[in-house]
Homo-oligomer: A and B are copies of this chain.
Amino acid sequence: MTLTPEQQAEIDALRSQTQQTLRATVPGMEAHLYKAYEVLDHGFIRVIDYMGDDSAICQAARVSYGKGTKSVQNDEGLIRYLMRHWHSTPFEMCEIKLHVKLPVFVARQWIRHRTANVNEYSARYSILDREFYIPAPEHINAQSVVNNQGRGGVLEGEEAARVLEILKADSNRAYDHYEQMISQEGQDGLARELARMNLPANVYTQWYWKVDLHNLFHFLRLRADAHAQYEIRVYADAICKVVADWVPAAYGAFEDYRLGGATLSGKALDCVRRMLKGEEVTQENSGMSKGEWREFEGVLNDPA
Contact = CB atoms under 8 A, between A and B. Distances in A.
A61 interface: yes
B261 A257 contact: no
A238 interface: no
A197 B105 contact: yes
Nearest to A158: B187
A261 B262 contact: no
A72 interface: no
B201 A196 contact: yes
A58 to B, nearest CB: 11
A119 B187 contact: no
B304 A269 contact: yes
Contacts of A289: 77, 80
B193 A140 contact: no
A49 B207 CA distance: 24
B56 A49 contact: yes
A50 interface: yes
B260 A262 contact: no
A292 B300 CA distance: 20
Interface residues of A, number: 139
A112 interface: yes
B256 A66 contact: no
A24 B10 contact: no
Q: How many copies make up the complex?
A: 4
Contacts of A191: 141-144, 150-152
Nearest to A133: B197
Nearest to A20: B18
Contacts of A212: 117, 210
Given A50-B51, A95-B51, A229-B193, A269 B60 contact: no
Contacts of A144: 191
Contacts of A130: none
Interface string A133-157: 1010000111110001111110100
Interface of A: 3, 6-7, 10-11, 13-15, 17-25, 30, 33-34, 48-52, 56, 59-61, 63-67, 77, 80-81, 84, 86, 89-90, 92-93, 95, 97, 99, 103-105, 108, 111-112, 114-115, 117-122, 124-125, 133, 135, 140-144, 148-153, 155, 159, 162-163, 166-167, 170, 173-174, 177, 180-182, 184, 187-194, 196-202, 206-208, 210, 212, 222, 229, 255-257, 259-270, 272-273, 275-276, 289, 291-292, 295, 299-301, 303-304
